[in-house]
Amino acid sequence: EVQLVESGGGLIKPGGSLRLSCAASGFTFSNAWMTWVRQAPGTGPEWVGLIKSETSGGAIDYAAPVKGRFTISRDDSKNTLYLQMNSLKTEDTAVYYCVHGSGWLDAWGKGTTVTVSS
Amino acid sequence: EIVMTQSPATLSVSPGERATLSCRASQSVSSNLAWYQQKPGQAPRLLIYDTSTRVTGLPARFSGSGSGTEFTLSISSPQSEDSAFYYCQQYNIRPLTFGGGTKVEIK
């Protein structure tokens, strides 16, 4: 069974940094393309970015609102996905989900909440 | 980016009454369209991909159709447990984009 467990969320002031982690199990993580999706309160999901598997070149792509501020990375030896978030803004407040897949998104973690507020 | 528009915003149906949810894309997404269900406090759950392919174990009362820019999710005989938000999502072109959702209420 695919399991994705996010951690690292919390309350942070504008301009601050936070690193989210996602521990993956139940599938061959090193072969997987992985995605981060966020959802602000009362809104639909929003794609944040994806990272391809190393065997597919490991390319990374980001949504425009986070490009240059967020960095997605992976450690295949630890079956872990990361999202480094810098220069956080109030509009980054959301639940952040780690997701298996890059087109249709077939397995989601429970999410971790990030609140950016002074 | 491709804008996904869902209608109606809220749909209230009686058990056994067919529910039809619409999703429109601002440009063609071919058949690269998925549907998700989200209940309060939970993550979205994939229901359908490639417009009409149900995930394993999804009841047959859920069906998807369409192509290009117009898509439909139908629930043929909704049950109380189908009360939830439903989102469409295109994956034809990055950035992946989601619709604003339809809230389905079972009376």
Nearest alpha carbon to residue B20 among B38, B30, B32, B35: B35
Is the pLDDT confidence value at B101 over 90?
yes
DSSP code string of chain B: ---EEEE-SEEEE-TTS-EEEEEEESS--TT-EEEEEE-TTS--EEEEETTTEEPTT--TTEEEEEETTEEEEEESS--GGG-EEEEEEE-SSSSPEE---EEEEE-
Written as one string, the DSSP assignment of A28-56 is: -GGG--EEEEEE-TTS--EEEEEE--GGG
In the chain, the amino acid numbered B96 is L
Contacts 24+ apart (CB under 8 A), A26-29: A26/A1, A26/A2, A27/A2, A27/A100, A29/A74, A29/A76, A29/A79
Question: Is B16's pLDDT higher than 90?
Answer: no
User: What's the mean pLDDT in A43-61?
Assistant: 96
Looking at residue B15, its pLDDT comes to 86
Residues in chain B closer than 8 A to A43 (CB atoms): 100
pLDDT in tens, A63-111: 999 999 999 999 999 999 999 999 999 999 999 999 999 999 999 999 9
What residues of chain A lie within 8 A of the CB of B30, using their CB?
Answer: none
pLDDT at A89: 98
Pseudo-torsion of CA B77, A2, A60, A84, nearest 10°?
110
Rounded to a whole number, what is the distance in Å from the CA of A17 to chain B's nearest CA?
A: 24
What local confidence, expressed as pLDDT, does residue B51 receive? 98
How many angstroms separate the CA atoms of A13 and B91, rounded?
33
Residue B47 corresponds to which tokens in the numbers above?
A: 């229901």
| Preferred mutation among B1, B96, B98 to probe A, highest tally of A CBs within 10 A | B96
How far is the alpha carbon of B103 from chain A, nearest alpha carbon, in Å? 11
Q: Tokens 């996904």 belong to which residue? A: B4
- Percentage of chain B surpassing pLDDT 70? 100
Which residue among B45, B95, B99 places its CB closest to the CB of A44?
Answer: B99
Distance from CA of B88 to the nearest CA of A (A): 10
| Chain A contact for B43 (CB, 8 A cutoff) | yes
Chain B residue numbers touching A46 (CB-CB < 8 A)? 98
Please judge whether B95 and A35 are an interchain contact, meaning their C-beta atoms are less than 8 angstroms apart.
no
Nearest CA in chain A to B54: A106
Check if the beta carbon of residue B85 is closer than 8 Å to that of residue B31. no
Q: Which of A5, A6, A70, A104 is the best residue to mutate to test the B interface, defined by the most B CB atoms within 10 Å of its own CB?
A: A104
With beta carbons under 8 A apart, name residues in chain B contacting A97.
43-44
Residue contact B44–A111, C-beta within 8 A: no
The pair of structure tokens assigned to A2 is: 């695919």
